[in-house]
Amino acid sequence: MVRWGMVIDLKRCTGCHSCSVACKVEHHTPPGVFWAKVVRIESGKYPTVIRQAVPLLCMHCREPECEKVCPTGATKKQPDGRVTVDSDECVGCRYCAVACPYGARCFAPDWKDYFTGDKKPSSPYAEYSKKKWLEESDKGVVSKCDFCEERVEQGKQPACVNACPCEARTFGDLDDPESEVSQLIKKRRGMQLHPEYGTDASVYYLPAR
């Protein structure tokens, strides 16, 4: 059985936020909701200080904390390793958002336009986005990255992977030892965030140095 996962090469990531924008365009997420985001961290000590852009998204853990704490069963582990939220079942208690160690979940009480001066949507695109978002997700529920389920079903790469100009992201089957992701993890010592929580994340990071 396939287990989808992602490898992010921190040496290649320039922090251009293409992934964040591609994700917003693909899923029409409202303002304030970022399923893919990039943060910048500084590490090391002078004179060997490094400033690093680190892309973040849902880690699609094998043992997800969010799924354990969800009181409604809206958060589900799929057989292909993805962790999804059924917006028809979510009650918006946000226990999952509090329990997620990676800050990957977003709560949107309502859809609001980026520019709130006018009552009308600011552009045809904004109007379309609102329509699409409300078609696919109820207001007042939690949402998160689903590894672009529809794209992957069509044999495409997730939007963030597709959009990355530096090819810092690789998507594939973690259970296949010959897949590119498995090889990258093996050869370049890919690491998970917070392995001590026992979540067994499906997103791996290749060290910048």
Partner 1 sequence: MSQSTSSSQGDACVLQQEDFKPGARTQMEWGFGGRRRWRDGALLMALFLGGVGAGQFVVSTWLIDSVTSALVGLLVVGVGKTVAHLMYLGQPKRFYRLFLKPKTSWISRGLIFMVVFVAFGAAYLAPDIGFDWVPWETGSTFSDALLIGAILSASLVMVYDGFVLASCKSITAWNTALMPPLFFTYAVAGGTAMTYLTLIAMGSDIPNEDTLTTIDSVLLVSMFALLVIYVMNMKTSTATARESLRKLTTTKVAVAFIGVAIIAGLLVPLSLTLYQGVAATETVASVLLALSSILELSGDLSVRHSILRAGLHAPVFSEGL
Binding site for partner 1 (CB under 8 A): 10, 17, 20-21, 30-34, 37-44, 52, 54, 56, 65, 68-74, 89-95, 97-103, 107-112, 114, 116-117, 138-142, 193-194, 197, 205, 207-208
Q: How far is the CB of 150 from partner 1 (least distance, A)?
A: 24
Whose Cβ is closer to partner 1: residue 186's or residue 207's?
207
For partner 1, the closer of residues 12 and 37 by Cβ is: 37
Query: Minimum Å distance from CB 149 to partner 1?
Result: 22
CB 196 to partner 1: min, Å: 9
177/209 with CB nearer partner 1: 209
Tokens representing residue 10 in the block: 């921190």
Judged by CB, which is closer to partner 1: 156, or 195?
195
Pairing of strands 4-9, 203-206: parallel
From the CB of 72, what's the least distance to partner 1, in Å? 4
Instruction: Look at residues 56, 27, 89, 60 and name the one whose alpha carbon lies nearest to residue 205.
Output: 56
